[in-house]
């Protein structure tokens, strides 16, 4: 079994990723690291992990760890991904893996130099509902795709939360704006040619709390908004001249809605729905990562893909500054 080490006791790790690893087919939670040794031990006990460490460096130095999951604040992702790679550990790092596309070049170089796997934790990449959307579009079920619409919002105005701290990489676009962009790129295989955007920043936090974006691709447009201070909503719609696809819980299936994909024909006289029950996209991600690290045939979200997606986010910020 692949022996996972976890750098930090961040909430997403405890509530989502660690339970998923524990339930995966390929790996075990081997060790937890925290700057608070007592907290590391408590979380390790919770997940039956034999090892706990009072520093991240200690975990990286352990020969009983094969790879690490990094849920640290965004501003620390590059630093600790590089340190883990230098220690010979495979790396699964929370999104966004960087705050600028150019920063990912350092990770690509480290990956190749140390012969380790480094991947950004886009769990949606492994959810079968997106394979269904891709299949429907490519097979012509909605005809010519003309418009993609998306949204992802939640309400969080806690000043102590990292999502509301510029220095830690907070903001709507880094946290959730990456999802409509990656999903659209994922199912169409295209990159935006032109981008327009408007961003509203919180007057106290300085983070982008609302962003509305129009991205023009070669064959279609993408329009989406994201916000950290609106009531919760997420949805993606792919609209063609012969039909339409709705993804009802595109990013957090089970929290915002059931994992289901609906197709309607152009006249709304025919429809079909696919539901995806008992799917844990975090476990699918962990298993795909381990299989890829073992050299098995597996498709993994690559750093090159990460760079391309972050480039879109960089362009959104640049477009908003022109307004």
Q: 203 by DSSP, 3-state: which?
A: coil
The continuous run of DSSP H or E covering 233 comes out as strand 229-240
Q: In degrees rounded to 5, what are phi and psi of residue 9?
A: -110, 40
The DSSP bridge pattern shows strands 229-240 and 243-247 to be antiparallel
DSSP secondary structure letter of residue 178: H
Quick one: which of 42, 76, 314 has its CA closest to 197? 314
CA–CA separation, 83 and 70 (whole Å): 11
Whose tokens are 């993408």? That residue is 222
CA–CA separation, 43 and 59 (whole Å): 14
CA–CA separation, 202 and 217 (whole Å): 30
In contact, 44 and 31? CB cutoff 8 Å:
yes
CA–CA separation, 239 and 221 (whole Å): 10
Whose tokens are 């893996």? That residue is 97
Catalytic: which of 89, 95, 132, 307? Answer: 95
**Residues pairing with 227 in the sheet:** 153, 210
Tokens at residue 123, please?
């769990």
CA–CA separation, 18 and 69 (whole Å): 9
CA–CA separation, 297 and 179 (whole Å): 26
Judge whether 322 counts as a catalytic residue.
no
Which residues are the active-site residues?
95
């Amino acid at each position: 079994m692949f022996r996972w080490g976890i750098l930090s006791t961040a909430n997403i790790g405890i509530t989502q990723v660690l339970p998923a690893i524990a339930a995966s087919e390929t790996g075990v939670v081997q060790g937890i690291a925290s700057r608070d040794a007592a907290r590391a031990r408590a979380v390790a006990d919770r997940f039956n992990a034999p090892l706990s460490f009072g520093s991240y460096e200690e975990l990286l130095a352990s020969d009983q760890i094969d790879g690490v999951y990094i849920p640290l604040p965004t501003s620390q992702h590059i630093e600790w991904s590089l340190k883990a790679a230098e220690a010979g550990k495979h790396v699964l790092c929370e999104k966004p893996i960087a705050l600028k596309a150019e920063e990912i070049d350092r990770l690509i170089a480290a990956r190749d130099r140390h012969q380790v796997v480094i991947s950004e934790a886009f769990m949606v990449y492994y959810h079968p509902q997106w394979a269904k959307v891709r299949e429907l579009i490519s097979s012509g079920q909605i005809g010519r795709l003309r418009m993609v619409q998306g949204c992802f919002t939640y309400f969080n105005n806690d000043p102590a939360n990292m999502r509301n701290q510029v220095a830690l990489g907070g903001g709507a676009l880094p946290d959730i704006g990456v999802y409509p962009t990656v999903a659209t790129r994922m199912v169409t295989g295209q990159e935006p040619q032109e981008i327009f955007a408007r961003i509203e920043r919180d007057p106290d936090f300085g983070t982008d709390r609302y962003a509305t974006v129009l991205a023009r691709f070669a064959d279609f447009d993408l329009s989406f908004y994201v916000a950290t201070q609106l009531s919760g909503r997420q949805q993606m719609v792919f609209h063609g001249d012969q039909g339409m696809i709705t993804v009802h819980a595109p990013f957090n299936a089970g929290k915002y809605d059931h994992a289901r994909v609906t197709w309607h024909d152009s006249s709304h006289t025919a429809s079909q729905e696919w539901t995806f029950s008992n799917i844990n996209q975090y476990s699918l991600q962990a298993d795909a990562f381990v299989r890829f690290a073992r050299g098995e045939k597996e498709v993994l979200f690559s750093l090159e893909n990460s760079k391309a997606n972050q480039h879109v986010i960089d362009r959104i910020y640049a477009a908003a500054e022109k307004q």
